Structure 1
């Protein structure tokens, strides 16, 4: 290949990449229009499996470590909610979590967040969680299979996941999914 041909090839690469990306976006938008593509549909295959063993430091200074052994002492399901102070959807779901707190115990896990920022968020929003913990490195979140934050798991005391979603909890989710599940397991 001559130097001129190499230069032409290198100069045409951005155009080829842009065309490929444009084709991908066109296919995605066509799929959305025809109902074949849902951009919010994230696979949540965690349902029915057991959560891994965990031992996380408490988020608040006076809070004990959050362990799977505490879950085993429960008689009812626990909603485990991964959140971060830098996550806007996490902040928008906090009022819904407070409303849901009357129906189920909620544990909050600050995922890859600075503890001081996560503490400030929880305190600013009237502590919507019964217990909170830190997953600064994200290892527990990765073991749970999360895709990002917010992400929530409804977990039975034996550690079996009965519901998992990777979008902010809404009043519709509470009414149509979580409350019926809670009634079914009582």
Structure 2
């Protein structure tokens, strides 16, 4: 009996490790973390990448907006930049410069154009950690009150924007407009 057990023990261990590996592969960091959806934007104060007064995240609220986590050293951030420049024409776009050198980030935005209303500098990654960032690039859509509606980790494409972000943006804009009309009616 013991001899058989010794024969099957490596097989059993290999099978268990295979199951654990298979389960671990199901944890895709590019899928949305459902626990973060519906959460409010963390209250931060950060230096602006371009100097001047610090930026507080409360100042971003008031209308639906997109927050893009990027870095000058990130090839996918560079690849999605033209799309972000187009989106900035239709939706408020803010940047969170993640673990980057300020000079390199500013130089790259000067070269490629700056689509952001403001860029928060997150040189040590603490703000991104509070937000739940996996890496760069990451794109978040927030409602006017700062509630997270959706997020995407990785290169943002027109297709992803149209399928995942645009419907929620349209819905939240309608909701925000309706709330504004109700407030006006009360006055």
Q: TM-score, normalised by structure 1?
A: 0.74
How far apart are 1:145 and its partner, in Å?
Answer: 0.5
Q: Give the 4+ runs in structure 1 shifted more than 3 A.
A: 36-43
How far apart are 1:52 and its partner, in Å?
Answer: 1.1
Correspondence for 1:69:
58
Correspondence for 1:174:
161
Which of 65, 83, 95 lines up with 1:78 in the alignment?
Answer: 65
Q: Superposed, which structure 2 residues align to 1:16-165 within 5 Å?
A: 41-45=30-34, 46-61=36-51, 63-72=52-61, 74=62, 76-165=63-152
The question of whether the paired residues in 1 share the 8 Å contact of 2:96 and 2:122 is answered with yes
CA 1:162–1:112 in 2, change beyond 3 Å: closer, same or farther?
A: same
Distance across 2 between alignment mates of 1:162 and 1:168: 18
Tell me the alpha carbon deviations over residues 87-126 of structure 1, each in whole angstroms, 9 at most, x when there is no partner. Answer: 1111101001011112210101110101111111211111
Distance across 2 between alignment mates of 1:165 and 1:119: 24
Tell me the alpha carbon deviations over residues 59-87 of structure 1, each in whole angstroms, 9 at most, x when there is no partner. Answer: 113x5322122023x2x211011101111
Q: Secondary structure at the match of 2:49?
A: coil
How far apart are 1:42 and its partner, in Å?
Answer: 3.6
RMSD of Structure 2 on Structure 1 (CA): 2.3
The question of whether the paired residues in 2 share the 8 Å contact of 1:71 and 1:158 is answered with no
Unaligned runs of 5+ in 2: 1-13, 174-187
Tell me the alpha carbon deviations over residues 15-53 of structure 1, each in whole angstroms, 9 at most, x when there is no partner. Answer: xxxxx8xx97xx77xx9xxxx969674443321111211
How far apart are 1:154 and its partner, in Å?
Answer: 0.8
CA 1:161–1:130 in 2, change beyond 3 Å: closer, same or farther?
A: same
Q: Secondary structure at the match of 1:85?
A: coil
Unaligned runs of 5+ in 1: 1-19
Distance across 2 between alignment mates of 1:146 and 1:40: 10
